[in-house]
Structure 1
Amino acid sequence: MFGRRFLRRFTALAIALPLAVACTKQDYLSGKRSNHSDDRPIVLTTFTILADMARQVAGDRLQVKSITKPGAEIHGYEPSPKDLEQASGADLIVENGLGLELWARRFVQSAGDVPTVTLTEGMEPLLIEGDAYAGKPNPHAWMSPLRAKGYVDRLVDAFSQLDPEGAELYRNNGNRYKLQLEQLDTELRNLLAVIPKQQRVLVSCEGAFSYLAQDYGFDEAYLWPVNAESQITPKRMARLIERVKNDQVPAVFCETTVSDKAQREVARASGARFGGSFYVDSLSKRNGPAPTLLDLQRHNVKLLRQGLAASAEKSS
């Protein structure tokens, strides 16, 4: 495993990063590579949420790392030379797919023959509606606890192929994690049941809640469909303000990885209040409110309940 990993690193980076390769080779020959004291296979994910899911399945048997760090905006992320080096040293790369991490192609190609698993492969995606992106898949399928179970199955299969001796462990861990996701689904349904039907409009900056909205009976409205806040236009702003006014939506929200300035203006112009920021494309740091996917979902749903069901909460 060690020799194969070093050969891949040298071959890939000789093209993309000749200077980095020279340093890596020199360090290796001089015995300075301390990270190779851990011979567990390396699994590299494109963002922190996938890393958390991968760790739930892998346990301590694999090294799981994330290219992006907590708080990073993943849509327009630009891989660094260090990212490319990490990719070439991995034994498996894990990506979401559905057009989410188009930037990942660069380091996947540079990684040479490193296997890659796409966790949404074979999944029937929800399609974006009524926008320039109409007809394209919404990539945020992990935001549905029930859809996330499909991610787990793909991880179990990929890890078992990478490390057949650990297949039983991965299968048991995967089943345990899927049970937690099912229990989370029930928990979220109970939390959201208090929100009146007429107030079930989820307004966010990005259209990242389509899967969650479908699962729990919400309409969705947003400033931009996918990718980045650079897509905000006066037309989209005006349309969202009108929607919030007409539906008397009590609160609007944004996401932690982008600026909430435009959404606060939507709140001001429509008479709604700004209800806070969701975690979607990134986990928080360990001491934050969303260090795991399960915590992320609980944080978001509690924030949503506080924003949309304030009157119902007071009367209950």
Structure 2
Amino acid sequence: MRSLTGSIALAAALSVSPVAAQQGGAPDPAPQRMKVVTTFTVLADMARQVAGDAAEVVSITKPGSEIHGYQPTPRDFVRAEGADLILRNGMNLEIWFEQFLANLGDLPSVTLTEGITPIAVAQGAYEGNPNPHAWIGLDTAMAYIDNIATAFAEHDPANAAQYRANAAAYQQQIRDAISPIRDRIAALPESRRWLVSCEGAFSYLARDFGLEELYLWPMNADRMGTPQQIRGVIDGVRQNDIPTVFCESTVNTAPARQIARETGVHYGGELYVDSLSDAGGPVPSYLDLLRVTAETIAAGLEEGNSR
């Protein structure tokens, strides 16, 4: 699957040991794994769960990175070198990635939102464009995993059965973890099931959890947390008797906290969407990201409704 140069380097690394030379033969080289490169950490973890030990998966961006306006570094190109397959989100999320991919050369790439019906951004400069954060929805997550398994099976058919089995087990694991939290939210009064966030990144989750949505800005961009945006959400919180507001982990939470103070509602905490944490952080895996975000929303709404 790798280049000729990579194969030569591998052969050199696996030079004949003295014992093998004495026995008149070289050891069989270990099977070469497919190398998969993803655009950000969430996709990388999903891909690793499907791959198991049959493929190597590398993320271009690091834990905690803000992916919308990411600027690739020379080290990113080195990390992606020798890739057999590229996984990307699509829906205009990784605008920076087009030039990056062009610099890598002619590599196969798969868009993981293929087949997903997008939710349109409802306001602002991006109005009418697809909301790219489809991985945050429980139902759409299943489509990502199916697309990963299909891509892996097509590019590495020898391990196709393993990929499909891993994908099915992973999907069930996600359902088992998140469905009880969704049931808790469904038990709250319908009129007060609102998800108020900084970025409008949770539209797919809001749809799957039966939540109305209100946010400060539609997509992370240059203008975030303006007085006009804050005033609009304050008015929405008061008009709809919304009990709780949240913000996401990769942006300044001050505007959301200001809204909570001025309206007297509960600040429910930070939600995770764009990036995983490092191994010692709160969301080292995609399943953790979904679980922690869903649990934070459920607990925050329950607290707000109890006041």
TM over 0.5: yes
Compared CA separation, residues 91 and 65, structure 1 to 2 (3 A) = same
Partner of 1:10: none
> Which of 43, 55, 60 is the equivalent residue of 1:67?
60
What SS does the aligned partner of 2:58 have? strand
Question: Are the equivalent residues in 2 in contact too, given 1:249–1:308 (CA < 8 A)?
Answer: no
Structure 2: gaps of 5 or more residues: 14-29
Whether 1:198 aligns to 2:191 is yes
Amino acid at match of 1:77: Y
Which structure features the higher share of helix residues?
A: 1
Aligned-partner Cα distance in 2 for 1:57–1:146? 17
What SS does the aligned partner of 1:276 have? strand
Amino acid at match of 2:293: N
Amino acid at match of 2:233: L
Give the deviation of 1:234 after TM superposition. Answer: 2.3
> Which of 112, 123, 131 is the equivalent residue of 1:138?
131
Aligned-partner Cα distance in 2 for 1:82–1:166? 30
> Which of 129, 145, 148 is the equivalent residue of 1:155?
148
What SS does the aligned partner of 2:57 have? strand
Question: Are the equivalent residues in 2 in contact too, given 1:208–1:226 (CA < 8 A)?
Answer: yes
- TM normalised by structure 1 equals 0.85
Amino acid at match of 2:166: N
What SS does the aligned partner of 1:231 have? coil
Amino acid at match of 1:199: R
Aligned-partner Cα distance in 2 for 1:256–1:297? 13
Aligned-partner Cα distance in 1 for 2:128–2:174? 29
Compared CA separation, residues 181 and 159, structure 1 to 2 (3 A) = same
Which has the larger Rg? 2
RMSD over aligned Cα atoms = 2.5
Partner of 2:19: none
What SS does the aligned partner of 2:140 have? helix
Whether 1:219 aligns to 2:212 is yes
Compared CA separation, residues 147 and 2, structure 1 to 2 (3 A) = closer
Whether 1:307 aligns to 2:263 is no
Using the aligned pairs only, state the percent identity: 47
> Which of 58, 75, 83 is the equivalent residue of 2:51?
58
Whether 1:234 aligns to 2:227 is yes
Aligned-partner Cα distance in 1 for 2:187–2:146? 32
Partner of 2:3: 3
Partner of 1:172: 165
Residue by residue, what CA displacement relative to the aligned partner does 1:210-237 show, whole Å, maximum 9, x if unpaired? 1111111111111111133633332211
Compared CA separation, residues 112 and 240, structure 1 to 2 (3 A) = same
Give the deviation of 1:130 after TM superposition. Answer: 3.1
Aligned-partner Cα distance in 2 for 1:265–1:228? 20
Partner of 2:180: 187
> Which of 264, 267, 274 is the equivalent residue of 1:274?
267
Give the deviation of 1:3 after TM superposition. Answer: 3.1
Partner of 2:20: none
Whether 1:126 aligns to 2:119 is yes
> Which of 60, 76, 79 is the equivalent residue of 1:83?
76
- TM normalised by structure 2 equals 0.87
Give the deviation of 1:186 after TM superposition. Answer: 2.1
Residue by residue, what CA displacement relative to the aligned partner does 1:235-266 show, whole Å, maximum 9, x if unpaired? 21110111112222222111111111222122
Aligned-partner Cα distance in 1 for 2:233–2:105? 45
Question: Are the equivalent residues in 2 in contact too, given 1:146–1:182 (CA < 8 A)?
Answer: no
Amino acid at match of 1:3: S
Out of 58-67 and 269-278, give the one that drifted further. 269-278
Give the deviation of 1:288 after TM superposition. Answer: 2.3
Aligned-partner Cα distance in 1 for 2:67–2:193? 28
Structure 1: gaps of 5 or more residues: 8-27
